[in-house]
Amino acid sequence: SAHAEEPLRVGSKRFTESYILGEILTQTAARTGPAEHKQGLGNTAIVLGALRSGAIDVYLEYLGTIDLEILKNPQPTSLDAMRAALRPLGLGVAVPLGFSNGYALAVRGDAEVRRLSDLAAHLDMKIGLSHEFLGRADGWPGLARRYGLAQHPRGLDHGIAYEALAQRQVDAIDIYSTDAKIRQYGLRVLDDDKQYFPRYDAVLLYRLDVPQRFPQAWRAIEQLQGTIKADDMIAMNAAAERDGKSFSTIARDWLACKVDGS
């Protein structure tokens, strides 16, 4: 059993939204006791490793990522199936926040293509993809197979992908559906006309002993269920990337109006 003063440790991945949600979880837990945010640990594999080793207790993950990338299921499964597969690892899924943040491919607003299947006939298009998407089972390899795409994408840091697209260094990029820059750059998100991508609902991935070790923090965190809609998340991502607000300020402002104000 934990020492009374041991902090609840929250992790996050290395992109805007993950930092913000890590702050929201940490600040929520901090109202009940010590809490610590280990920010921007790395990609999915690294944050998962930190969770499994006990270096962190909880982080915000996405259902499709749990299903296809973490559990390596070849096809999307059910939430019950995911829970059953995670239990032997000492992990659980809970508290859907109320939005999903999915992968898609996007092009400049004046491009000819509208659907992912249109890409097959445009071999001249240069595709730039975030490094994790390039290698993931639910990323490029499966997408290329499903749609018969023969392009050779290059790896791009997601932080500079929108600028590279605007500068015409590439003609298509992978986007996260709650990225504020989709609207800001007037991009067209290509229709996934062969339903390749699964749902990526935002949920907590946590060590199963957390509710017993941190009962008050856990009850506080449970109150976040269903409270963040996609437009809220897009606005928070914009506050960071467009307005340059700090992740902790964005989280504090959101908690002040959403939780205290309701």
Q: What is the contact surface with ligand PBE in residues (CB under 6 A)? A: 13, 44, 62, 65, 101-103, 176, 200
CB of 15 vs ligand PBE, minimal distance in Å: 6
CB 182 within 8 A of CB 106: yes
CA–CA dist 90, 28 (Å, integer): 23
| Chain mean position to CA 127 | 21
Q: Which residue is nearest to ligand PBE (CB)?
A: 65
Name residues whose C-beta falls within 8 Å of residue 256's C-beta, 6 or more positions apart in sequence: none
CB of 13 vs ligand PBE, minimal distance in Å: 6
> b/e map of 113-135 (b: 16 or more CB within 10 Å)?
beebbbbeebeebbbbbbebbbe
CB of 176 vs ligand PBE, minimal distance in Å: 4
Report the residue number, 9 or 13, with the smaller CB distance to ligand PBE. 13
Report the residue number, 131 or 145, with the smaller CB distance to ligand PBE. 131
CB of 111 vs ligand PBE, minimal distance in Å: 22
Report the residue number, 161 or 220, with the smaller CB distance to ligand PBE. 161
CB 218 within 8 A of CB 211: yes
Helices and strands: H and E segment counts in the chain: 12, 10
CB of 256 vs ligand PBE, minimal distance in Å: 25
Report the residue number, 27 or 65, with the smaller CB distance to ligand PBE. 65
Amino acid symbol at 155: G
Report the residue number, 29 or 203, with the smaller CB distance to ligand PBE. 203
101 burial type by CB count under 10 A (0-12 exposed, 13-18 middle, 19+ buried): buried
Report the residue number, 28 or 65, with the smaller CB distance to ligand PBE. 65
CB 188 within 8 A of CB 175: no
Report the residue number, 218 or 237, with the smaller CB distance to ligand PBE. 237
CB of 16 vs ligand PBE, minimal distance in Å: 10
CB of 188 vs ligand PBE, minimal distance in Å: 18
Beta strand 172-176 with 154-156 is unpaired
